[in-house]
Amino acid sequence: MATMGTAVAVVGTGTVVGGGSALDNMRGGPEKREGARVTEIRKIVQEEVANALIQAWPTTSGPVKGTPVPTQNYRKQVPLENGN
């Protein structure tokens, strides 16, 4: 009698777990997880590439030292070609 009750409980649990898997597949769970993984990998690659570019970019290049800081607010005034 105890064996039959245990078997019924095991079969019932298997049905619930299998049903959860079917619902996961039906709702696109594997595709969503794959998309999340791809997004995470892209973020990691983007950070690594940015760090590599920052480290590879020289701080000085002969007499020129990096990018000059603008002296004007170019949103308010656009400099003319003749220097005014």
* Distances 72 to 16, 65, 75, 79 between C-alpha atoms, Å: 68, 19, 9, 8
* Tens digits of residue pLDDT in 15-65: 555 668 888 778 888 888 899 999 999 999 999 999 999 888 877 667 766
The CA distance from 11 to 33, in Å, is 29
Mean pLDDT of 5-22: 59
Q: What pLDDT, on a 0 to 100 scale, did the predictor assign at position 82?
A: 62
Highest mean pLDDT among 8-12, 46-50, 71-75: 46-50
The CA distance from 76 to 70, in Å, is 13
